[in-house]
Amino acid sequence: MGQMSGKTCIVTGGAGSIGLASARRLLEEGGNVMLVDRDDARLAKALKSLAHHGNRVATTTSDVTQTSDTRNYIQKTLAKFGQFDVLFSNAGASGDIKRVTDYPEEDFDTVMAVNVKASFLACKYAVPHMNDGGSIIITSSIMGVKSNPNIVAYATSKHAVIG
């Protein structure tokens, strides 16, 4: 088996392009994967594309910005696989391309919730179950380092993730 044999990974944003490609690779390397996404239809399509991996892949619908949903996807992962070794906080929102003076505060809050708060919640509730070690991966972007004045919320959120 591959280097992920016997390991389990939670992938948020799991039905999106980066999440699904990552899940494929993790499964190819022998790992188990819990795909987490807010879109039922995309999750079903993702699961169908990975069906040949059998019971090593599972899905759950979740709003990663909500504490109860975050706790729920972690508990579902534990119930299905018994443990997890990797948390890949990959869910993301890009927001609109607008000048800061034209950017609605509500839209800014939404992007920050998905790109920053969701990673905080994921870490907060996953870490207690990772007592024997593991890995946490949080997706960022070059926009967190070198931005564009019209990509306000996204750049701010990715800079926050980088720290």
- Reading the chain (163 residues) residue by residue, the pLDDT tens digits are 699 999 999 999 999 999 999 999 999 999 999 999 999 999 999 999 999 999 999 999 999 999 999 999 999 999 999 999 999 999 999 999 999 999 999 999 999 999 999 999 999 999 999 978 899 999 999 999 988 889 999 999 999 999 8
Question: Within 10 Å of residue 148's Cβ, how many Cβ atoms?
Answer: 10
How many helices (H) and strands (E) the chain has is answered by 6, 5
pTM for this structure?
Answer: 0.96
Q: What is the pLDDT of residue 149?
A: 86
**Distance separating alpha carbons of residues 82 and 61, to the nearest angstrom:** 19
Query: Which fold, 8-162?
Result: Rossmann fold (3.40.50)
Q: What is the pLDDT of residue 124?
A: 98
- Domain ranges (residues) in the chain: 8-162
**Distance separating alpha carbons of residues 6 and 132, to the nearest angstrom:** 14
Helices (H), 30-99: 40-49, 67-81
| Catalytic residue numbers, as ranges | 154
